[in-house]
Amino acid sequence: MNTDKLPTRSENYSEWYNQLILRSELADYAPVRGCMVVRPYGWALWENIQGALDKRFKETGHSNAAFPLFIPMSFLEKEKEHVEGFSPELAIVTIGGGEKLEEPLVVRPTSETIIGYMYSKWIKSYRDLPVLINQWGNVVRWEMRTRLFLRTLEFYWQEGHTAHATAEEAVDETVRMLNVYTDFAVNEAAVPVIPGRKSETEKFAGASDSYTIEAMMGDTRALQAGTSHFLGQNFAKAFDIQFLDPGNQLQHCWTTSWGLSTRFIGAIIMTHGDDQGLVLPPRLAPIQVVIVPIFRNDDEQAKVMPVAEALNRQLSQFRVKLDTRSEVTPGFKFNDWEMRGVPLRIEIGPKDIDNGVVTVARRHTPGKAGKSTLPLGDEIAAQVQAVLDEIQAAMLEKARNFRDAHIHEPKDYEEMKQIVQDGWALAYWCGRTECEARVKEDTKATTRCIPLDQPEGQGECIVCGQPAKKKVYFARAY
């Protein structure tokens, strides 16, 4: 076990991130470059993310299904922008069972094409619509530069694919699912994302419009934490997804797709983590409460352990762990569980038992300020629930304050160049690609999103000074 301190975020943010993932056992490097193994602790976190999202998908009328990993190469080529966007990063199978394949198979980078193909078989009538399907799975994109969780060659995600009779319905669906992601991010992960629309250059290959939730990481860089795309009739036309409307007219469907991946784990790490390690939101943490018994000798052990075990049972409604390891000291355990981000630690020793209490330590509030005592007794589970709720709320508020403290509205282009070095700039933008490109050239910052909750305004583009109606966030991104 590595007992050295982590690098601090200020001395080396990316080393802090990498080492924290390895040491907390969320994930490990696989033998293939750019691939990761999601370890049990990381997968448990992902399962909790899945559960929170899947519930919301079901509540909004979606069903899960599973489509194949392999896609005929020709499918990708049917939608021009789609193939242009994805061809540089495809993994392609050319041999199967020792025989050269008639047609190469792409390992799916995303499933619009194969699902579009199936939808064209299934959809004949307006009565078949809407089709609302989600799939949980893995995809492969041969990225050049990879980072654990943020950008790996293979990653796990969900991808929703829907087909509708009208553009309005499809747009509504796109925005509905963006709102589902926002609700999940804010209320489950305590990640205060900003929902908005992507610019033409930043949108998904093949989409008419892409929407995103953008999150600010602890180094102020932006992370696209989930996306929802209005695909127009692009894929419906490429794959002949057609239906007869009530007037017996043949029409193309309007489709959407939306996805959120294991990248979101990176968002949680970098939104809440501190120099001591992970800080996980109670609603998603694989272990919500850890109980650390403390004793010096057999007599004290005999006194403490039955109480600790009884408490463990009393808290069975939570994801609770009783740390019975005898080979490490309590001090080691405190640091160990803090590094792993467990939201609430309960210490129970002879002194506590004498006083009829347990000591609780809140992960998100380091040191003595986060410690208090709770009386042992029938009320303890309700009190623990209250503390977890309080932690969840405090984490969201802290992240929101950090975000808002690093968003500025520049008065001119010079000021904007300064702002994006350590924050996000919110400014009017004329909508032209040239202005985006100039900002990227000058600062490495890109447009992140055009936030949805803004009134139509009148302003001047921060770059060129021409009339602009909408503000956009500029930031350096992962």
Partner RNA sequence: CGGGGUGUAGCGCAGUUGGCAGCGCACCGCGUUUGGGACGCGGGGGUCGGCGGUUCAAGUCCGCCCACCCCGACCA
- Min dist CB 1 to RNA, Å, is 4
CB 332 within 8 A of CB 342: no
3-class SS at 79? coil
CB 279 within 8 A of CB 399: no
Residue 276 binds RNA (CB under 7 A): yes
Question: What is the distance of C-alpha 370 from the center of its chain?
Answer: 27
Residue in 190, 188, 271 with CA at minimum distance from that of residue 17: 271
Cis peptide before 451 (omega within 30 of 0): no
DSSP letter string, 289-332: EEEEE--SSHHHHHHHHHHHHHHHHHTTTS-EEE---SSS-HHH
From 60-68, 324-332, 383-391, 398-406, span contacting RNA (CB under 7 A) = 324-332
From 234-242, 290-298, 389-397, 459-467, span contacting RNA (CB under 7 A) = 290-298
From 49-57, 175-183, 321-329, 401-409, span contacting RNA (CB under 7 A) = 321-329
d(CA 239, CA 112): 10
Among positions 88, 306, 356, 377, the unique one binding RNA when judged by CB under 7 A: 88
Among positions 315, 339, 342, 384, the unique one binding RNA when judged by CB under 7 A: 339
The residue (of 112 and 468) whose beta carbon lies closer to RNA is 112
Among positions 248, 249, 316, 326, the unique one binding RNA when judged by CB under 7 A: 326
Residue 144 binds RNA (CB under 7 A): yes
DSSP one-letter code for 7:
P
Q: Pattern 185-224, binding to RNA, x per CB under 7 A? A: -------------------xx------------------x
DSSP letter string, 114-146: HHHHHHHHH--BGGGPPEEEEEEEEEE---SS-
**CB proximity list for 145: less than 8 A, separation 6 or greater:** 151
The residue (of 151 and 438) whose beta carbon lies closer to RNA is 151
The residue (of 101 and 357) whose beta carbon lies closer to RNA is 357
Residue 387 binds RNA (CB under 7 A): no
d(CA 131, CA 133): 6
Among positions 58, 61, 80, 89, the unique one binding RNA when judged by CB under 7 A: 89
Residue 321 binds RNA (CB under 7 A): no
Total residues interacting with RNA, rule: CB under 7 A: 54
Rounded to 5, what percent of the chain is helix, strand, coil? 35, 30, 35
Residue 249 binds RNA (CB under 7 A): no
The residue (of 47 and 143) whose beta carbon lies closer to RNA is 143
- As to burial, measured by CB atoms within 10 angstroms (0-12 exposed, 13-18 middle, 19+ buried), residue 220 is buried
Which parts of 17-76 interact with RNA (CB under 7 A)?
32-34
- Min dist CB 328 to RNA, Å, is 6
Which parts of 389-448 interact with RNA (CB under 7 A)?
none
Among positions 73, 76, 191, 294, the unique one binding RNA when judged by CB under 7 A: 294
CB 347 within 8 A of CB 330: yes
Which residue type sits at 366? Answer: P
- Min dist CB 276 to RNA, Å, is 7
Beta strand 209-216 with 222-230 is: antiparallel
Residue 331 binds RNA (CB under 7 A): yes
Q: Rounded to the nearest 5 degrees, what angle is found at the Cα of 225, between the Cα atoms of 206 and 393? A: 150
- Min dist CB 2 to RNA, Å, is 6
Residue 153 binds RNA (CB under 7 A): no
The residue (of 52 and 101) whose beta carbon lies closer to RNA is 52
Residues that bind RNA (CB under 7 A): 1-6, 32-34, 85, 88-89, 110, 143-146, 151, 157, 204-205, 224, 226-227, 259, 261, 263, 276, 294-297, 326, 328-332, 334-336, 338-339, 347-353, 359, 361, 367, 371
